[in-house]
Amino acid sequence: MGLTIVGTIAVSFWLFDSAEGNPIGLAISVIGGLIVGWALGKTAEFYTSDHFAPVKKIAAQSETGPATTVLSGISAGMVSVAASVILVLAGIGIAYWGGEETLGNGIYGIAVAAIGMLATTGAVVSVDAYGPIADKLEE
């Protein structure tokens, strides 16, 4: 992630140095998108991994019956959405501000931030594709 941040700043100055405003604005938009994408992944991991409290709480509720398990799972799911929404809203705000700083166009900043959020997709997809291969080797 650090190399992507440094590269983003360099490319931003290279492409938008002659543009009106501050060329660091679009770099901030991309970096904001990158950080929000990473934070969304960590949030999803927190609410779905058995190493953290939400899943442990749902598992503990399963001892009292199916109704409490379902209700606990639904409530944990509803709470998990709040963190994701707050992260996306913060990312949109940062991206809009960054776009306004560079080109006077916040929508372009939001579009560039979306590219930043997708920067880690290649690694995630390759790890997901490797899963069935590793499972087959264990057999």
Query: Considering the domain boundaries, does residue 16 fall inside one?
Result: no
Structure tokens at 125: 């997809």
Spatial distance between the Cα atoms of 118 and 33, rounded to a whole number of angstroms:
8
Query: Considering the domain boundaries, does residue 130 fall inside one?
Result: no
87-134 pLDDT per residue, tens: 999 999 999 998 888 777 888 889 889 888 888 788 878 877 887 777
Query: Considering the domain boundaries, does residue 4 fall inside one?
Result: no
Query: Considering the domain boundaries, does residue 139 fall inside one?
Result: no
Query: Considering the domain boundaries, does residue 13 fall inside one?
Result: no
Query: Considering the domain boundaries, does residue 1 fall inside one?
Result: no
Instruction: State pTM to two decimals.
Output: 0.78
Spatial distance between the Cα atoms of 47 and 58, rounded to a whole number of angstroms:
11
Considering all CA atoms of the chain, what is the largest pairwise distance in Å, rounded to the nearest integer?
65
Query: Considering the domain boundaries, does residue 105 fall inside one?
Result: yes
pLDDT value at 19 more than 70 = no
Task: Specify the number of domains making up the chain.
Answer: 1
Query: Considering the domain boundaries, does residue 125 fall inside one?
Result: no
Domain extent at residue 77:
21-120
